[in-house]
A and B are shown apart, each in its own frame.
Chain A
Amino acid sequence: DIQMTQSPSSLSASVGDRVIIACRASQGISNFLAWYQQKPGKVPKLLIYGASTLQSGVPSRFSGSRSGTDFTLTISSLQPEDVATYYCQKYNSAPITFGQGTRLEIK
């Protein structure tokens, strides 16, 4: 099975900072990569699919990119409401797998 490795596992940043979360696939998955945000005690929310397509209603400060098997989620200017755990998910084929998550806190 293809493994998804996220880094870092946690990070702390200040409001207004640019934040980058990485996700690496153990094999090629083309652009079949999604990002989710899960706030504490809440349901996961789709942010990005197709590696870089923003889901409707998601603020434009979120963006995604791909370079080979490396993917990044960027928050251009961190806001207090962005405190959450972020997961990448590969979906090129079954089994669908998620990264282990990146916990984002405000410094």
Chain B
Amino acid sequence: QVQLVQSGAEVKKPGASVRVSCKTSGYTFSVYYIHWVRQAPGQGLEWMGWVSPNSGGTTYAQKFQGRVTMTRDTSIDTAYMELDSLTSDDTAVYYCARAGVGVPGATYFDYWGQGTLVTVSS
């Protein structure tokens, strides 16, 4: 069965960076883009961007450009999201999600990771 398993919760100080991993299994990693979505406490869902497992190509939401890097390691079927220059506004649950059928960079998400809570606090 398709699974996306994310790394554990993180506590970071303002100005630091965080890297979240998303280990996939149960399907061919190279076929489906991985998107990242975040959710601040009590708030809605916010799309951050995607990485192509095949080419490594990326697209980021304008809000995060220059501060986010999405990568992948095809040898272990894992995607990563690194966010720099953290502030308290970045406190959120970060989800990886698999792109559904269709245009992989603009599609719905059929499988999600369990989420990773990133807390930014001094």
A residues contacting B by CB (< 8 A) are 32, 34, 36, 43-46, 49, 55, 87, 89, 91-101
Asked if B54 is at the interface of the complex by the 8 Å CB criterion, the answer is no
Q: Is B62 part of the binding interface, using a Cβ–Cβ cutoff of 8 Å?
A: yes
What residues of A have a CB within 8 angstroms of the CB of B114 in the complex? Answer: 43
Q: Which residues from A are CB-within-8-Å of B105?
A: 94
The verdict on A46 contacting B110 (CB below 8 Å), with A94-B105, A95-B61, A96-B35 known, is: yes
Q: Which residues of B contact A (CB under 8 A)?
A: 35, 37, 44-47, 59, 61-62, 95, 100, 102, 105-110, 112-115
Question: Are A32 and B45 in contact, CB atoms less than 8 angstroms apart?
Answer: no
C-alpha spacing A95/B63, complex, angstroms: 10
Query: Quick one: given A34-B108, A43-B114, A91-B107, are A96 and B47 in contact (CB under 8 Å)?
Result: yes
CB distance from A79 to the nearest CB of B (A): 22
Q: Majority SS of interface residues in chain A? A: loop
Question: How many A-B contacts if CB must be within 8 Å?
Answer: 53
Task: Tell whether, in the assembled complex, residue A98 and residue B61 are in contact, meaning their CB atoms are under 8 Å apart.
Answer: no
Complex alpha-carbon distance, A49 and B45, angstroms: 17
- Interchain CB contact (< 8 A) of A87 among B35, B44, B59, B100: B44
Q: Is the CB of A100 within 8 A of B44?
A: yes
Min CB gap A89→B, angstroms: 6
Whether A46 pairs with B46 at a CB distance below 8 angstroms is: no
Identify B45's interface contact among A55, A91, A98, CB under 8 A: A98
Residue of A nearest to B63 (CB): A95
Tell me the complex Cα distance, A89–B108, Å: 8
A-B residue pairs in contact (CB < 8 Å), sample of 14? A43-B113, A44-B45, A44-B109, A44-B112, A46-B100, A46-B108, A46-B109, A46-B110, A87-B44, A89-B108, A94-B61, A96-B47, A97-B47, A101-B45
**Chain B residues, Cβ within 8 Å of A101:** 44-45
- The interface residues of chain B lying within 8 Å CB-to-CB of A92 are 106
- For the complex, what is the distance from the CA of A45 to the CA of B37, rounded to whole Å? 13
Q: Within 8 Å CB of B109, what residues of A? A: 34, 44, 46, 89
Contacts of A100 in B (CB 8 A): 44
